[in-house]
Amino acid sequence: MAGRALALLGLTAIASPAAAEEGPGQVLQELYLAEPAYLQERGEAQLTLRADALRAPDTTSATGSAALEYGVSSNLQIEAALPYLVLVEPQQTDHGAGRASVGALGGGALGEQLLVAAGAEVSFPSLSTLDEDQFGVEPSLSLQTALGDVHALIGEGAFAIVSKPFPMDQLFRVVERACRGPVVVVVDDASEAAALADELRQHFVAAVACEDVGCALRRKGADVFVTATPLVSREFLDELKRRSDDGEPVTLVFVTDHPAQRVPPTPLRGFVVKRPPKVPWLLKTIADARGVH
């Protein structure tokens, strides 16, 4: 059973792009597809369970539904849904199945920036008195395209990138981490650190600037350290390792003018970026780091 792309607290489930600074153009990814344009892959099935409730002064109603989608091919899926209704009134309680429906949805990409999907859904008379007692047909047609760099901005604004498939306990850890409000600490020359931290904040990443590692270690809630290589000391690395061993996930991003082999060895999770760092790549690297632990 496949999971859809999930956005929660800026959390994004996509394949990680942090391994390379720039990649070739790609067809629209699942993250950027609106619900009507999304198709299951061939042989892929998805079951969606949903519950809604509405309370009024004299009446309470609730609806539970199950919807199943199955990919017949990469361009065609079939689907079926069945709701169950409950109505609670002062004198009585009614419940029963609602209007079952079946449908099909087909489509695909027309070029790199355009998706089309068309389909139809047939609904049947309700099996109870709580819904309409008639047939219905609902056709649909959707076109979707990326407007400018909207898809890139969405990616840069992600809190974490989690590669699929992922275990639910990992997802819970990432959400818990987001709720703690972690901070990125930029350790570099005063002017450069301040400029980079300011640019990160413009992309909704909490960031502070420090001139030395002592200042960086005093910052509470820091989970990513973007650090100029000359400022890294053994004491700094040992303290971050201790925090990591105590259950505080820490990631180092080394900013360096030297080849990767000149970076100090560390047991911590780390990345290397040449000076000056490209902010889009750095944002994705931070999001990738926050999705692993």
Q: What percent of the chain clears pLDDT 70, i.e. is strictly above it?
A: 77
Q: Give pLDDT, residue 150.
A: 53
Contact between 211 and 196 (Cβ < 8 Å): no
pLDDT score at 81 = 94
Low-confidence ranges of the chain (pLDDT < 50): 1-35, 261
pTM: 0.48
Distance CA(217)–CA(102), nearest Å, equals: 58
Q: Is 167 helix (H, G, I), strand (E, B) or coil?
A: coil
Q: What are phi and psi of 37, to 5 degrees?
A: -95, 0
Distances in Å between the Cα of 146 and the Cα atoms of 23, 152, 281 are 17, 10, 20
The pLDDT assigned to 152 comes to: 57
Where residue 38 falls (left for φ over 0; alpha for ψ -120 to 50; beta otherwise) is: beta
Provide the 3-class DSSP secondary structure of residue 30. helix
Query: Could you state, in order of their start, the residue ranges of all structural domains in the chain?
Result: 29-145, 155-290
- Give the three-state DSSP class for 257: coil
Q: What is the pLDDT of residue 56?
A: 81
Q: According to the model, what pLDDT value does residue 147 have?
A: 57
Q: What's the confidence (pLDDT) of residue 114?
A: 76
80-84 long-range CB contacts below 8 Å, 24 or more apart?
Answer: 83/131
Torsion of CA 268, 274, 277, 283, to 10 degrees: -40
Q: Residue 113: its pLDDT value, please?
A: 67
pLDDT of residue 176: 84
104-118 per-position pLDDT tens digit: 999 887 766 677 889
Class of domain 155-290: alpha beta
Residue 156: CB atoms within 10 A of its CB come to 18
| CA atoms of 227 and 185, how far apart (whole Å) | 8
